[in-house]
Chains A and B, each alone.
Chain A
């Protein structure tokens, strides 16, 4: 096995922002998507669109399939090995489930932030540059790296705090700093979409606020899909809101609308805290 990407079929274009995307398309478009873990069906005929440059939040009770759906969009779910799907997920107009789609470029186009901050056990510098170096096949110049590093850390408002300890281990940072770092390391490869799986659930209220503000700041340049358990967060920090229940999408409207005049009784019950 060589230290690089796997051989790529000639006819299949790689998924990614490099290959001329359809400018009118939504950032993410999910069509008739079903997913099974072995014999258990977790998602049923999911149809939804994530608007470009907006923050879309995905809410619903535990086990409703929010994370499953999120983890299908960069296909990280497939690590499990017993996942089957049907339907289509389009990223900027390209079906990422089509045969021949390479995972490596897909995952550069779709960055993911996890529930628990998971910096790699490397230095702060190496963490931020990890994806960047992979994308350049390991051939990067020091000067470019320094520039990319500073830009990414400035974008997540972390540069001033860590600029004097870039060689220190990233795992020694506070949870808030770690989560910001986990966002920063996605930016150098210029993803078009950021997926966030309850990015604040391991953080205290002050850190939550800081990360929320950061997410709001990244909006516009990135299309963001964020799974959250926190109603207040969905309300504060998203443009659109999708409510899921038992593996199905129940309602998808502008956030302001959903929290004021939900169309479905189930949505109303959930956001008012009657179950979940």
Chain B
């Protein structure tokens, strides 16, 4: 009797088993591809630029001179200070605008708004994050430019101020979303406990919610900084794209990213100029990598502190 029954334990080649294997393989490839792409991109950028950095580029000159004349004959100059200062000043100004703005919106959405208002605001913020950067650049070029010229009575409106405002508005939505997630992760029992002890809404936010969300909020700010650092098109269009160490918000400037975008098409593949642009790419890659890593560590630390 028992011998005629099929041996179920060994019989693994049924449809469910096959689909399980296929699904696992597809998911594994999908998961691993993210790592593969990151490594491949870094390898490509490093291959094009690393040799140049190590052999030809005068690093002390690069970090101390604003003279960026990559096409100069016979002796090109690769001074990156103006570009670094341009990126830093535009990003810094953008953060001055985006940090208070996005934290305010996040606190309003997370702590005050309810029901339909809250849902509508969240959708609008996400919509704002989806506006293409070239559109923001266009706004900087055609709307903000004349406004700055009229308002401050300056000859040129394509300046650090223009690019900073545009970049701040661009970075604010993503920062708002991350900051709001951080506030949402604060257990409601904390708020309830504090309110039951007679704290006002603002006291609850100030003394309980913000401190316990602080790591997530810092991560939100860092991601905004990373976004500002890496942004290209809007900065290219709004900053004036002039090689110049800016001394004030009404000076034009040029960003690292914008330099690569504007010049790479004109260079001969394998030339020093081409490789110098890849060196800028390596610098950008390293900076954004460190910022994102830091933000990620903080988000994880914030989550583990609460549990």
| B-binding residues in A (CB < 8 A) | 1-6, 74, 76, 79, 81, 103-108, 111-112, 114, 116, 118-122, 130-131, 134-135, 182, 185-186, 189
Contact = CB atoms under 8 A, between A and B. Distances in A.
A185 B197 CA distance: 9
A120 B194 CA distance: 8
A168 to B, nearest CB: 14
B193 A120 contact: yes
Contacts of A6: 200
Contact of B212 (A106, A121, A130, A186): A121
Contact of A114 (B189, B202, B206, B207): B189
7 contacts: A1-B202, A81-B114, A111-B197, A121-B190, A122-B211, A131-B198, A189-B198
A203 B196 CA distance: 22
B198 A114 contact: no
Query: Which of B114, B196, B199 has the largest number of chain A CB atoms within 10 A?
Result: B196
B196 A134 contact: no
A107 B202 contact: no
Query: Which of A104, A185, A189 has the largest number of chain B CB atoms within 10 A?
Result: A104
Contact of A3 (B206, B305, B306): B206
B208 interface: yes
A107 B196 contact: yes
Interface residues on B, range: 20 to 34
Interface in B93-148: 114
Contact of A5 (B114, B192, B193, B200): B200
Contacts of A119: 193
A119 B189 CA distance: 9
Question: Chain B at the A interface: mostly helix, strand, loop or mixed?
Answer: helix
Interface in B193-239: 193-203, 206-208, 211-212
Contact of A186 (B197, B203, B211): B197
B4 to A, nearest CB: 53
B204 to A, nearest CB: 10
A120 B114 CA distance: 24
A108 B203 CA distance: 15
Nearest to B205: A1
B190 A120 contact: yes
Given A6-B200, A118-B190, A107 B195 contact: yes
Contacts of B202: 1-3
A180 to B, nearest CB: 15
A118 B195 CA distance: 12
Nearest to A80: B114
A5 B199 CA distance: 8
B100 to A, nearest CB: 15
Contact of A105 (B191, B198, B206): B198
B197 A121 contact: no
Contacts of A116: 189
Contacts of A189: 197-198
Given A79-B192, A114-B193, A107 B198 contact: yes
Contacts of A118: 187, 189-190, 192-193
Interface in B16-50: none
Nearest to B306: A121
B203 to A, nearest CB: 6
B16 to A, nearest CB: 41
Contacts of A76: 192, 195-196
A19 to B, nearest CB: 16
Q: Please give me the 9 A-B residue pairs with the lowest Cβ-Cβ distance, nearest first.
A: A107-B198, A131-B197, A118-B189, A118-B193, A112-B196, A108-B198, A104-B198, A121-B212, A1-B202
Interface in B168-189: 187, 189
B123 to A, nearest CB: 21
Nearest to B207: A130
Nearest to A71: B196
Nearest to A16: B198
B208 to A, nearest CB: 6
Given A121-B212, A130-B194, A104 B189 contact: no
Nearest to B305: A121
Nearest to B199: A134
Nearest to B114: A81
A114 B192 contact: yes
B198 A103 contact: yes
A2 B200 CA distance: 10
B306 A4 contact: no
Contacts of A107: 195-198
B224 to A, nearest CB: 25
Contacts of B190: 118, 120-121
A116 B203 CA distance: 22
